[in-house]
C-alpha cells in the first residue's frame, strides 16, 4: 500500500538519502574552499556554512528530485549543526 504525503499527494518517485545529502553538502562547501567534518554535531558557523550555502544545497536537492521543496512544511526551528541540516532536508522531502 502506498501512503499519501501530508499534503495529500503521492510520494516522490525519488528521494535524496541522508548519505547523498551529506555528499551534496560536502560539494557545496568544497566549492567554497571549505570541508565538511564527519561529526554531525559540528557547528555550521564554525565550518562556515552560511545561508547562501544552505540555499544552494536546497537547490541541489530540488534538481535531484526534480521538484520544488516546500519549506513551509518544516515549521520554524533552529538549525545550528550539520545534523540539523540533514534532518531538515530529509524531513522536507517527505512532507
Partner 1 sequence: MTPDIPGAGNSLVDVRSGTSTTWAGLPEVDLPAPAAVVVASSFAALPAVLRHARRGEELLVVSQGRMEQHLREELLGAGFNLVSDDGLEPAGAPRAAEDHRLWLLTSGSTGRPKRIGHTLESLTTVSGEMAPRRWLCPYSPGTYAWWQVVTLGLAVPGQDLVVVDPADLEGWVPAAIEHEVTAASGTPTFWRQTMMAHGDDLARVPLKQISLGGEPVDQAVLDQLTGLFPGARVSWIYASSEVGASIVVHDGRAGFPIEWLDRDVTGRPRLSVVDDELVISSPHHGEGLEGAVRTGDAVVVENGRVLITGRTSSDEINVGGAKVSAGVVRSVLQEHPEVVWAGVRGRKAPLVGKMVVADVVLRSGETSAPETLADLNRWCQERLPDYGVPRRIKLLDAIPAKETLKSDV
Q: Between residues 46 and 52, which has the closer beta carbon with respect to partner 1? A: 52
List residues binding partner 1 (CB under 8 A). 31, 51-52, 54-56, 58-60, 63, 68-69, 71
In angstroms, what is the minimal distance from the CB of 62 to partner 1? 9
In angstroms, what is the minimal distance from the CB of 14 to partner 1? 18
In angstroms, what is the minimal distance from the CB of 55 to partner 1? 4
Rounded CA separation 48/2 (Å) = 40
B/e letters for 44-59, b = 16+ CB within 10 Å, e = fewer, are beebebeeebbebbbe
Amino acid at each position: 500500500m502506498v501512503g499519501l504525503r501530508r499534503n495529500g499527494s503521492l510520494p516522490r518517485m525519488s528521494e535524496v538519502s541522508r548519505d547523498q545529502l551529506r555528499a551534496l553538502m560536502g560539494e557545496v562547501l568544497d566549492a567554497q574552499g571549505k570541508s565538511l567534518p564527519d561529526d554531525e554535531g559540528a557547528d555550521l558557523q564554525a565550518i562556515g556554512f552560511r545561508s547562501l550555502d544552505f540555499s544552494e544545497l536546497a537547490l541541489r536537492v530540488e534538481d535531484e528530485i526534480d521538484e520544488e521543496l516546500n519549506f513551509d512544511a518544516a515549521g520554524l526551528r533552529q538549525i545550528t549543526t550539520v545534523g540539523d541540516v540533514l534532518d531538515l532536508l530529509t524531513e522536507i522531502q517527505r512532507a
